[in-house]
Amino acid sequence: MSIEIAVALLALLVALFALVALVAVYARVRALEAGRAAELSGYASVVGRPAPLPVQPEAGQRGAVVAVLDANCALCHGLWDALGVAAEQHPAHRFAALVDRPDEFRPAGRAELVVDPAARAEVFEGYAPTLLDVGPTGIVRGRTFVYSDTDLPALMRELLAHPTEATGLVNGA
């Protein structure tokens, strides 16, 4: 066998390996997309379940916006600031954040920091920051994962637009 044929066969073998790897990655992406559509993340969905007691709306409040935050997350600190601004603008709602370490967050107006590892674990779905829309009865109506390109003021307006209706908001996944 000549060197040219050996190199050509080796190149063909590498191309075949690359094709098999590409098909495997494509199949995995399709499986993940199917799981996302079916709300399968490995965590039980919080939508439709009661929110933990420490973050449920208090008597007379129209609902709650609950953030699940992590002290080591830069996006979480930005969301905490946006929560504080929204809390000042919407006094009929409760704004709370379930955090792992409160000393990493500075005060943000009426927004409350709640340090309760059990409550945080109950609503944590594997990603932080996450926003929960909690209805006046304490049932989680929607969940949104917050990303770096999320328009936080628009998201807050959307969460507060229909405080007495179930929004069914399930973004991000």
What pLDDT, on the 0 to 100 scale, is given for residue 171? 42
- pLDDT range class, residue 83, cuts 50, 70, 90: very high
- Phi and psi of 103, rounded to 5°? -70, -10
What pLDDT, on the 0 to 100 scale, is given for residue 43? 56
Q: Name the token pair of 148.
A: 């770096």
Topology annotation, domain 53-171: Glutaredoxin (3.40.30)
Amino acid code (one letter) for 144? T
The CA distance from 160 to 154, in Å, is 10
**7-53 pLDDT, tens digit each:** 999 999 999 999 999 998 888 877 766 665 555 555 567 888 999 99
**98-145 pLDDT, tens digit each:** 998 888 888 888 899 999 999 999 998 888 899 999 999 999 999 889
Q: Where are the domains of the chain?
A: 1-38, 53-171
> SS3 sequence, 7-35?
HHHHHHHHHHHHHHHHHHHHHHHHHHHHH
* Distant-in-sequence, close-in-space partners of 138: CB < 8 Å, separation ≥ 6: 50, 51, 53, 56, 57
Q: Name the token pair of 9.
A: 């066969």
- pLDDT range class, residue 60, cuts 50, 70, 90: confident
